[in-house]
């Protein structure tokens, strides 16, 4: 009987199972929803710890650089001048990173972390693990990388 073959083939799909237990479909959807949202929440303690660690490192680095800038007397030769300029640039970069970290920690505290600044899409967790201060999704990041750098530099200084 060929009809017997079409029967089992039609019945396995999920909809028929859903009909047998009426409460399950909604539960399953709710679960899938929270699971997706929980993924970032699950990573938040680690991301926050990473950011705090980076923050401490940058604060220390900045303190050392600023002490070096303070100690520096008027450069007498080209090498000293170049060295002094590099130190100032490094201090500016450290300050910039520190500001980004602080802003990111604020976003976490206020529950706005993990959303693309431009398109408001969720930023993939794996990207946040690599760059916890990222505020752009992969797509926007690709399109904006050079302007973003300029924009950020101008915003700070
Ligand atoms: Zn985006």
Q: What CATH number does the domain located at 37-156 have?
A: 1.20.120.910
128 alpha carbon to ligand 1 midpoint, in Å? Answer: 13
pLDDT at 108: 95
Contact 93, 65 (CB under 8 A): no
Q: Could you read off the pLDDT of 56-82 as tens digits, one per residue?
A: 999 999 999 999 999 887 778 898 899
Q: Which two tokens stand for residue 42?
A: 């699950």
Q: Could you read off the pLDDT of 81-117 as tens digits, one per residue?
A: 999 999 999 999 999 999 999 999 999 999 999 999 9
Q: Is 10 a residue whose pLDDT tops 50?
A: no
Strands (E), the chain: none
pLDDT at 153: 40
26 alpha carbon to ligand 1 midpoint, in Å? Answer: 30
Predicted TM-score (pTM) of this structure: 0.65
141 alpha carbon to ligand 1 midpoint, in Å? Answer: 7
Residue 123 CA, distance from chain mean position: 7
The domain spans of the chain are: 37-156
75 alpha carbon to ligand 1 midpoint, in Å? Answer: 46
pLDDT band at 48 (very low <50, low <70, confident <90, very high): very high
Tell me how far apart the alpha carbons of residues 97 and 124 are, in angstroms, rounded to a whole number. Answer: 21
Q: Could you read off the pLDDT of 81-91 as tens digits, one per residue?
A: 999 999 999 99
């Amino acid at each position: 009987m060929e009809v017997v073959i079409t029967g089992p083939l039609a019945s396995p799909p999920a909809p028929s199972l859903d009909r047998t237990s009426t409460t399950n479909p909604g539960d399953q959807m709710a679960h899938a929803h929270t699971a997706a949202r929980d993924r970032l929440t699950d990573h938040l303690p680690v991301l926050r710890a990473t950011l705090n660690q980076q923050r401490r490192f940058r604060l220390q680095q900045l303190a050392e650089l600023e002490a070096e800038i303070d100690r520096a007397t008027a450069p007498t030769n080209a090498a000293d001048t170049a060295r002094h300029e590099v130190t100032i640039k490094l201090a500016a970069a450290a300050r910039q990173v520190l500001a980004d970290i602080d802003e990111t920690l604020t976003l976490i505290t206020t529950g706005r972390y993990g959303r693309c600044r431009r398109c408001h899409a969720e930023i993939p967790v794996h990207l946040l693990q690599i760059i916890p201060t990222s505020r752009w999704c992969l797509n926007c990041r690709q399109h904006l990388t050079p302007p973003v750098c300029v924009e950020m530099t101008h915003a700070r200084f």
